[in-house]
Structure formats: structure tokens, C-alpha cells
Amino acid sequence: MSVNINTVYQRVQSIANKEQRGYITPLEFNRFANQSQLEIFEQYFYDLNQFVRIGGNDTRHADMVTGIEEKIALFEVFESNLGNYDNSDNCYNLPSALHKLSTVSYIKDGGVNYQYYECENVTKKNLKLILTSNLTLPTTTRPIYTRQGSEINVYTGKTTSPYFTELQTNDLIEIDYIKQPTEVTWGYVLDSNNDALYNSAASTNFELHPSEEPNLVIKILELAGIAMKSPDVYQVADKENIEDIQQQKQ
């Protein structure tokens, strides 16, 4: 499930070239396309927060919360193993494509079955306080973790003093997270006239939900209109964008 980048490219060029308004180079298009994809993706989380507060309705196909969650679900990654502990940095490294971390789980080998324990997130500031009180110490069944940038540290309990330990080599840590959209590319080859021809083998499609195709065209045209200093291109796209937002939030 994705949006074909060449379909968006052709539509953008058709609108931009109408009445000789201008031509968008493949390099410019790729820059505008990636910026537009990120803007639409980031907006999901703001919109979801807004519509959750407003409340949904009983009509599944017209429920905004359900619709946004369906779009975000395309970027969800489950049970991703973080691999070995990084002894050089004293941490577990998070994936470079991670956008939002959902859950961290400690997987304990019980001999016959693996047992999953969700870790609670605590701040570095509170970690010292937590580890100095017997009442708040992490346990095997109630592990905790801290995060700093792209690194996490996981703590669990043990039977001897100081009754907690930081998980390191050979401990299995899995995460669920929302990844960032993959960078898109409209790939091309040059013909004998030095015109760019679409090359599917060198292209990467948008990862957004197919319903976002009109929004991508609008947002790319907005950026193109600014770059080309063409107010009419920008105004047409901006008008469509405003109407779309108003319709969604009525």
C-alpha cells in the first residue's frame, strides 16, 4: 500500500506547466516530495490528538480517529530485536529510522517458554531516586528503562545487593515503534535530447496511505510555487489545502 511517485510527478508537472507557469526539475521535485511526505506524516499525530479529544462516531468509514490510526499503522514496527548491547557506548542502540518509541520489552528465557515484561520509562533525573529506595527498585517482572537520544538502558531486579542490575550482553530487548517514512525518489534516465524519462528501477514510492495522493500533489505544488516565484501556482495549491482542512474539521 503506497502512492506511486510517478503518478504524483506527472500530475504536479501537468498543473505547474499549464499556461507555461514553469517546470520542476527532478532534483527539485524530490526535495519537495520528501518535505511534503514528512509534513503530512507529522500532521497525523497532531490531528489524532485533536480528534481523540473531540470524540469519534459510530460510522467506522467516516470516523476521523479510525482513519488517522489506519494511516499511522502503515509505519508501525512490532517486536524489533535491538540486538547486542553496545559495550563501547554502554547502551542498547535504537533503530535509525525510529520516529516514536511505543514500548520496550524485556524477554526472559524461562527455560521452556519466553516471558515478556514491558519496561516502564523513567527519566535519568529520577533514576537515582528509584535505585536508592527498596520500594521503587525495578524487579524481574517490573523492569524500567531510560532513554537518551537514540540510546536506552534497561534495569531489572536481582536477588543480591544492590538488588538491581543493568541488562547488558545476551539479554533480549524488543521494541515496538513508529518508523519514519522512507525517503522517496523519482528516478530517471536521460534520453538523446537530455529529457528526463521515468526509471522505476531507480525510484522509491511514497509510503503514505493511497488516500494522501491529492494532498501530496497540493503540498508539492505549494513548495514549487514558492521556488518558482509563481504566486498563481502557490495560491491554487494553498486554496485546495485550506478547503481540504476545513472539510476535515467540520
Q: What is the pLDDT of residue 111?
A: 57
Peptide bond preceding 231: is omega within 30 degrees of 0, i.e. cis? no
DSSP class per residue in 179-231: EPPPPPB--EEE-TTS-EEE-GGG-B-B-S-GGGHHHHHHHHHHHHHHHTT-H
Residues 32 and 115 occupy one common structural domain: no
Q: Are residues 190 and 68 in the same domain?
A: yes
The range of the structural domain enclosing residue 142 comes to: 78-179
Same domain, 173 and 195: no
152 and 210 share one domain: no
| Assigned domain for 242 exists | no
- Decide if 235 is inside a domain: no
Shared-domain flag, residues 88 and 143: yes
Same domain, 86 and 159: yes
170 and 196 Cβ atoms separated by less than 8 Å = no
**pLDDT in single tens digits along all 250 residues of the chain:** 789 999 999 999 988 876 455 678 999 999 999 999 999 999 999 999 888 776 655 555 667 888 899 999 999 999 999 988 888 888 999 999 999 999 999 988 765 678 899 999 999 999 999 999 888 999 989 999 999 999 999 999 988 888 899 988 666 899 999 999 999 999 999 988 888 999 999 999 999 999 999 999 999 998 888 766 655 554 554 554 544 544 444 4
Provide the residue type at 65 as one letter. Answer: V
Residue 238 lies inside a defined structural domain of this protein: no
Same structural domain for residues 135 and 83? yes
In this predicted structure, what is the pLDDT of residue 53? 74
* Cell (9 digits) for 240: 485546495
Distances in Å between the alpha carbon of 217 and those of 15, 71, 104, 174, 226?
9, 18, 37, 37, 14
CB 117 within 8 A of CB 136: no
pLDDT of residue 246: 46
Asked if the structure places residue 226 within a domain, the reply is no
Does residue 68 sit in the same domain as residue 189?
yes
Statement to judge: residues 12 and 63 lie in one domain: yes
Residue 234 domain flag: no
What pLDDT is recorded for position 78?
A: 95
- 190 lies in a domain? yes
Q: Check if the beta carbon of residue 101 is closer than 8 Å to that of residue 92.
A: no
Residue 38's pLDDT is: 96
- On whether both 101 and 125 belong to a single domain, the answer is yes
Q: How many folded domains does the chain comprise?
A: 2
132 and 213 in a single domain? The answer is no
Amino acid at position 96, single letter: S
Any domain includes 229: no
- In a domain, residue 201? The reply is yes
CA distance 195 to 199: 12
CA 99 vs. chain centroid, Å, equals 5
Domain boundary among 128, 151, 179: 179
For residue 117, the surrounding DSSP H or E stretch is strand 114-118
| Residue ending a domain, choose from 179, 209, 230 | 179
